[in-house]
């Protein structure tokens, strides 16, 4: 496998404390500039897999991000490199205003408050939400929340974007706007979704998760065809 | 019962604000020792849960229903210090956003529901919750019951101390209603704890532990003080003040407050409300001092 | 829902909305103390306080009638005690209890209707309230919008199935159905809290909240604070 993989995962296994074997020997690579869609049924281990990439969970096996192994002492670096956008924006937008929330990451990176708010404003501009910086997150629509959540990770200037079912709560215009936004972002992307159309418009290839393992890989069309996933 | 502003006399609300502030400070310090700031979301979201729980009605019969108050339940999940912190945050938001309880009276409401209510709710669980299944059930019920009853009685005492008229029949009816809502809180708390544990037994703490004897003494003292308070308040409407005046502390306290300013603002400081406030504070300090002294003696005896 | 309306009011742009939260919090405490300690609260002083508060709502372009109605939340409690006081031969107190409590509630409402709650809470940090407690309050308020929404939809779902509280099935089953609903709400809340924690860690949280600075306390804030204190104390002397 090329040494330059942004994400490199080998033989990853993970069992929840209650005994559920959620991951069962996953191997995966994400190359620079790539966008990979992750398809698969509910409960097949997609979210569990993503949570291993930045050390929120840790199982057996090897994971490295931009060549850095994921382990306790590298977590700060890893978490700056991976921008993780959660499925439910309400879990991610916990600060009282949009600006406070987007500045949360930069402040954790040790930036001074002024610098952090500058970064946050720039990230908000990038997603087209600068007008909302003083607003409370609960006054935003689902689509706007998702954009702000993305701004929150962009403010950390990550190398990789990881998105867990980003279209879940979106209406069709919100979905379209998200698609356009993601196309403009230069980072490599890992995109978990049930929306095959969305994946086809965005992703270079797809992997299919089933019962804690990757059972198919190839173009989105090929994987969807092979796995009866439409 | 959330006391609004305008009901408590100045000595009472001022004294309780002064009392509640360090108590909450202590609860915050103890909470921080156990939870790092990363757990603030857990405390906050469970606070929002307790808030929202009030929207779910429990049928009691004869067309009425009640809802969870939640102090004891929070204590079983988070321990008493964190539960006190969460209840304090809830009371502050209720006072600010819902006009449910006053701002100056926040000290009183926090003392009643976030400090004493939570502690009294936690103690039976701490004492007997580690026993058999039946003992545990009784402890959980008793915690919910005691938490609501003691909070409400304290509020009643504070109103009476403030001179709010409380004719015997009205006081009697109120106490009757408090007992009913306390029974309901016990039943709801028990039912919810059991339902929660079927989802995940890890949500509720394991009870018991090293502080059983200390807890017994605190519980006995609390009950004793509450009883004395009720009798005292019903006998002397302006009791706290009387206590301070009789012991001569009020005069000294007034002088102490007045001296630094007496050259230019003596008239203002001589006004009745300041005297009252000083008297109330002094009276309360006296009661607190007595409690602390009593606790010290007991502790020394125990370690001897 | 109640908090949603006040939340909307607090998003305005009047002179009062623009004042620093610390100035409004301090002015509120002084005004409440003035009202609470006024012996007997003469009708004249009470009316002037009332007029000032009404003027405040109007100036902040907050619906005055709506505000009057919301502050009336304290009246059932106050009027009950007023009735008892009247019946036990203390008509003076019967008038004062509802008067003082209503004025106080109105004053609190004016501040909350012109200050978003998170800002107000942070304002209290200036008066020495521990930041930990204020952050907990901020999270309670933030997730009230989420959890209360879930509770409302559960209640709706329950009422479609006959309700937790309506007649029909036996009391005992409906009681345990309500307990079950609360337990589910609890588990969801707990799960949400874990996800929030994970999302904090994902953005580099290492155990301590770093916050953006409070805005500067400007001359207009000083002017507002000092003049409200002066007015509150002067009116008390009437
Ligand atoms: N906290 C948990 N404890 C125990 N089992 C879990 C937990 N979270 C998820 N699981 C289980 O792990 C499996 C994979 O879940 P998940 O990664 O969320 O799947 P997906 O995101 O593909 O829907 C499922 O069987 C799920 O029930
Ligand atoms: Mg998932």
Q: Is C22 exposed, middle or buried (0-12, 13-18, 19+ CB in 10 A)?
A: buried
Euclidean distance between the first and final Cα of chain B, in Å?
42
Mean pLDDT for all residues in chain C? 89
Q: Which A-chain residues 101-130 have CB contacts (< 8 A) with chain C?
A: 103-105, 107-109, 113, 116-117
Does any domain span residue A27?
no
pLDDT one digit per residue (tens) for chain B, 304 residues: 799 999 999 999 999 999 999 999 999 999 999 998 999 999 999 999 999 998 787 877 666 678 899 999 999 999 999 999 999 999 999 999 988 999 999 999 999 999 999 999 998 888 888 888 899 999 999 999 999 999 999 999 899 889 888 888 888 888 888 999 999 999 999 999 999 999 998 899 887 655 556 666 666 666 666 655 555 555 544 444 444 444 444 444 444 433 333 333 333 334 444 444 444 445 444 544 444 444 444 444 444 4
Residue pair C24/C123 in contact by the 8 Å Cβ criterion:
yes
Tokens of C188: 């969801």
pLDDT one digit per residue (tens) for chain C, 238 residues: 567 888 889 988 999 999 999 999 999 999 999 999 988 788 899 999 999 999 999 999 999 999 999 999 899 889 988 998 898 888 888 889 999 999 999 999 999 999 999 889 988 887 789 999 999 999 999 999 899 888 888 877 777 776 665 555 666 778 888 899 999 999 999 999 999 999 999 999 988 898 887 778 899 999 999 999 999 999 988 7
What residues flank ligand 1, with Cβ below 6 Å?
A: A 16, 18, 20, 22, 40, 42-48
Query: Under 8 Å CB-to-CB from B120, ≥6 apart: which residues?
Result: B143, B146, B147, B150, B151, B219, B222
Place of tokens 């929030």: C196
* Per-residue pLDDT reduced to its tens digit, A192-205: 999 999 999 999 99
Place of tokens 């209603």: B177
Mean pLDDT for A180-203 is 96
Q: Is C83 exposed, middle or buried (0-12, 13-18, 19+ CB in 10 A)?
A: middle
Tokens of B128: 């007997």
Contact C199 A117 (CB under 8 A): no
pLDDT at residue B219 in the model: 63
Tell me the CATH number at A126: 3.40.50.300
Does any domain span residue A57?
no
Which letter does DSSP use for residue B116 in this model?
A: I
Query: Under 8 Å CB-to-CB from C79, ≥6 apart: which residues?
Result: C98
Does residue A128 surpass a pLDDT of 90?
A: yes
Tokens of B154: 């304290």
pLDDT at residue B302 in the model: 42
Does any domain span residue A49?
no
Distances (CA, A) of B31 to B37, B83, B207, C74: 10, 9, 18, 33
Give A117→chain C minimum CA distance, Å: 8
CA C220 to chain centre: 25
- In order of start, what are the domains of chain B with their CATH numbers? 10-303 (1.10.1760.20)
Residue C203: left if φ>0, alpha if ψ -120 to 50, beta else—which one?
Answer: alpha
pLDDT at residue B228 in the model: 59
The number of C-beta contacts closer than 8 angstroms across A and C is: 83
Q: What is the CA radius of gyration of chain A?
A: 17
Model pTM score = 0.86
Residue pair C23/C221 in contact by the 8 Å Cβ criterion:
yes
Query: Under 8 Å CB-to-CB from B197, ≥6 apart: which residues?
Result: B203, B204
The whole-angstrom separation of Cα B246 and Cα B224 is: 23
* Per-residue pLDDT reduced to its tens digit, C34-76: 999 988 788 899 999 999 999 999 999 999 999 999 999 899 8
The whole-angstrom separation of Cα C224 and Cα C221 is: 5
pLDDT at residue B264 in the model: 32
pLDDT at residue C91 in the model: 86
- Long-range contacts, C217-224 (Cβ 8 Å, 24+): C217/C20, C217/C22, C217/C23, C218/C20, C220/C18, C220/C19, C221/C19, C221/C20, C221/C22, C221/C23, C222/C23, C224/C19, C224/C23, C224/C24, C224/C27
Which letter does DSSP use for residue B110 in this model?
A: I
The whole-angstrom separation of Cα A33 and Cα A188 is: 5
The whole-angstrom separation of Cα C172 and Cα C114 is: 46
Catalogue the E-assigned strands of chain B: 58-61, 64-66
Half-sphere exposure of B218 (CA within 13 A, CB side): 14
CA C54 to chain centre: 18
Q: What is the CA radius of gyration of chain C?
A: 22
Q: What is the CA radius of gyration of chain B?
A: 20
Instruction: Tell me the chain A residues in contact with residue C145 when contact means C-beta distances shorter than 8 Å.
Output: 138
Contact A94 C196 (CB under 8 A): yes
Mode of pairing for the β-strands spanning A21-30 and A7-15: antiparallel
Contact C202 A136 (CB under 8 A): no
Structural domain total, chain A: 1
Q: Give the closest residue (by CA) to ligand 1 atom 20.
A: A43
The whole-angstrom separation of Cα A97 and Cα C102 is: 32
Give A221→chain C minimum CA distance, Å: 32
Torsion angles phi and psi, residue C27, rounded to 5: -60, -40
pLDDT at residue C137 in the model: 95
pLDDT at residue B248 in the model: 46
The whole-angstrom separation of Cα B65 and Cα B254 is: 49
Q: Give the closest residue (by CA) to ligand 1 atom 1.
A: A16
Range of the domain at A183: 32-44+79-226
Does residue A182 surpass a pLDDT of 60?
A: yes
Does any domain span residue A122?
yes
The whole-angstrom separation of Cα C222 and Cα B40 is: 33
Residue pair B205/B77 in contact by the 8 Å Cβ criterion:
yes
Could you give the 3-state DSSP secondary structure of residue B202?
helix
Contact A96 C116 (CB under 8 A): yes
């Amino acid at each position: 496998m090329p040494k330059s993989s942004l994400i490199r995962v080998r033989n990853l296994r993970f069992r929840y404390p209650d005994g559920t074997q959620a991951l069962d020997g996953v191997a995966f690579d994400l190359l620079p500039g790539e966008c990979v869609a992750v398809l698969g049924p509910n409960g097949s281990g997609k979210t569990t897999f993503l949570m291993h990439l930045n050390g929120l969970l840790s199982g057996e096996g090897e994971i490295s991000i931009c060549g850095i192994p994921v382990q306790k002492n590298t977590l700060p670096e890893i978490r700056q490199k991976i921008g993780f956008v959660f499925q439910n924006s309400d879990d991610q937008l916990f600060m009282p205003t949009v600006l406070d929330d987007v500045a949360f990451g930069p402040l954790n990176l040790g930036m001074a408050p002024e610098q952090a708010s500058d970064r946050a404003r720039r990230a908000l501009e990038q997603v087209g939400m600068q007008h909302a910086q003083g607003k409370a997150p609960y006054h935003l629509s689902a689509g706007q929340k998702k954009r702000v959540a993305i701004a929150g990770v962009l403010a950390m200037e990550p190398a990789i974007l990881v998105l867990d079912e980003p279209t879940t709560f979106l209406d069709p215009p919100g979905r379209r706007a998200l698609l356009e936004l993601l196309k403009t972002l230069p980072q490599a992307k890992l995109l978990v979704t049930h929306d095959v159309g969305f994946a086809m418009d965005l992703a270079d290839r797809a992997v299919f998760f089933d019962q804690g393992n990757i059972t198919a890989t190839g173009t989105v069309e090929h994987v969807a065809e092979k796995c009866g996933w439409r | 019962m959330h006391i609004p502003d305008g009901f408590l006399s100045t000595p009472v609300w001022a004294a309780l604000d002064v009392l509640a502030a360090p108590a909450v400070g202590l609860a915050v310090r103890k909470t921080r020792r156990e939870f790092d700031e990363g757990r603030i979301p857990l405390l906050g979201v469970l606070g929002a849960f307790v808030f929202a729980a009030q929207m779910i009605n429990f049928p009691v019969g004869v067309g009425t229903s009640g809802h969870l108050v939640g102090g004891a339940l929070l204590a079983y999940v988070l321990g008493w210090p964190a539960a006190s912190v969460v209840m304090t945050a809830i009371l502050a938001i209720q006072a600010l956003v819902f006009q449910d309880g006053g701002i100056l009276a926040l000290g009183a409401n926090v003392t009643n529901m976030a400090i004493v209510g939570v502690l009294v709710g936690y103690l039976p669980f701490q004492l007997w919750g580690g026993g058999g299944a039946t003992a545990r059930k009784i402890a959980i019920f008793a915690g919910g019951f005691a938490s609501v009853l003691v909070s409400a009685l304290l509020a009643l005492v504070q109103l009476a101390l403030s001179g709010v008229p409380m004719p015997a029949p009205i006081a009697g009816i109120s106490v009757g209603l408090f007992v009913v809502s306390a029974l309901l809180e016990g039943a709801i708390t028990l039912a919810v704890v059991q339902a929660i544990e079927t989802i995940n037994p890890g949500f509720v703490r394991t009870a018991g532990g090293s502080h059983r004897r200390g807890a017994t003494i605190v519980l006995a003292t609390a009950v004793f003080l509450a009883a004395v308070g009720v009798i005292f308040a019903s006998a002397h409407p302006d009791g706290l003040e009387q206590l301070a005046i009789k012991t001569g502390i009020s005069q000294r306290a007034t002088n102490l407050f007045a001296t630094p300013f007496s050259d230019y603002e003596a008239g203002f400081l001589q006004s009745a409300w300041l005297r009252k406030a000083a008297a109330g504070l002094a009276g309360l300090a006296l009661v607190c001092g007595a409690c602390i002294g009593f606790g010290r003696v007991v502790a020394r005896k125990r370690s001897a | 829902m109640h908090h949603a309306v006040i939340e909307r009011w607090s998003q305005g742009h009047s002179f009062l909305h623009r004042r620093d939260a610390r100035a409004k919090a301090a002015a509120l405490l002084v005004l409440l103390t003035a009202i609470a300690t006024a012996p007997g609260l003469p009708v004249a002083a009470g009316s002037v306080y009332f007029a000032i508060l009404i003027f405040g709502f109007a100036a902040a372009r907050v619906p005055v009638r709506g505000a009057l109605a919301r502050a009336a939340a304290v009246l059932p409690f106050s009027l009950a005690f007023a009735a008892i006081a009247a019946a036990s031969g203390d008509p003076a107190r019967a008038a004062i209890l509802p008067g003082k409590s209503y004025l106080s509630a109105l004053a609190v409402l004016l501040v909350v209707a012109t200050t978003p709650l998170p800002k107000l809470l942070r304002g209290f940090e200036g008066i020495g309230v521990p930041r930990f407690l204020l952050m907990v309050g901020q999270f309670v308020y933030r997730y009230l919008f989420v959890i209360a929404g879930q509770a409302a939809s559960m209640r709706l779902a329950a009422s479609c199935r006959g309700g937790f509280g309506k007649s029909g099935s036996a009391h005992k089953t409906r009681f345990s159905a309500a307990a079950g609903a609360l337990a589910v709400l609890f588990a969801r809340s707990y799960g949400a809290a874990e996800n929030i924690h994970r999302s904090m860690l994902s953005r580099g949280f290492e155990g301590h909240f770093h916050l953006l600075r409070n805005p500067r306390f400007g001359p207009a804030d000083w002017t507002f604070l000092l003049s409200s204190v002066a007015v509150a104390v002067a009116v008390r002397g009437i």
